Amino acid sequence: MIKIAIDGPSGSGKSTLARSLAKKLGYTYVDTGALYRAVALFMTENKVDLDSSDRICSRLADISLSIVYSEDGTQHVYLCGEDVSEKIRTSEISMAASKVSAIPAVRNFLLKTQRNIAQSANVIMDGRDIGTVIFPDADVKIFLTAGNESRAERRYAELIGKGENITFQKVLEDMGKRDQNDSSRAVAPAIPADDAVILDNTEFTKEMTFDRALEIISQKLRERNGKM
């Protein structure tokens, strides 16, 4: 099975890119951030103190998570039987997900779910540690990034489009905090794998990012096939 890892900070356009690549290539798209968000939603709804890793760890056993795909390939995340795919997209849950994702037991809890999916399908997985921890042997690794202002502008437009009442300044600030949390944590920090191709799309349209990523993938897969 082929595994393509798309890692990078929030707002870099990972999910848009990974979703359209998966469609083009006929692969399964996996948005791993949604799993951390679902854990964060569970803890928030159950009023678990997000600053207490002990309390968070003690509730992990109560969580049942599953990923289900609709016919058009859209990923749905079910938390204890409820489709929470929309509910997990708020800025509050973004920040909570960043917090819970720094806890090693949470990462461990989600490890198997992520690895299992790639056993039966070619996958394009987006996240923070796909190329470094989940699939260090991924066939292609892309680390997608963009300047802070551009990423915040994209995230701001997304949240406003969903009707959230938030200022650009707050989005920029939250993003900075999240970047700091995600890239400085002790376990599986959001940093590029040594063998990842860095793709900075600050000046790119979505189409340009897609074309460049497809070139990278085609080249890597050709090299891989040449070696086999």
**Contacts with ligand DC, residue ranges (CB under 6 A):** 10, 32-33, 36-37, 94, 97-98, 101, 127-129, 178, 182
Shortest approach of ligand DC to residue 133 CB, angstroms? Answer: 8
Shortest approach of ligand DC to residue 37 CB, angstroms? Answer: 6
Both tokens of 218, joined, read: 């085609």
CB 189 within 8 A of CB 98: no
Residue for token pair 């497809």:
214
Number of Cβ within a 10 Å radius of residue 154? 18
- Type of residue numbered 75: Q
Task: For residue 121, give the DSSP letter.
Answer: S
Shortest approach of ligand DC to residue 33 CB, angstroms? Answer: 2
Q: Which is nearer to ligand DC, 94 or 201 (CB)?
A: 94
Q: How big is the chain, counted in residues?
A: 228
Residue of 3, 2, 18 lying closest to 144 (CA atoms):
18
Cα 106-95-104 angle, rounded to 5 deg: 20
Shortest approach of ligand DC to residue 215 CB, angstroms? Answer: 24
Shortest approach of ligand DC to residue 23 CB, angstroms? Answer: 19
Angstrom distance (rounded) from CA 16 to CA 46: 31
- Type of residue numbered 10: S
Radius of gyration of the chain (CA): 17
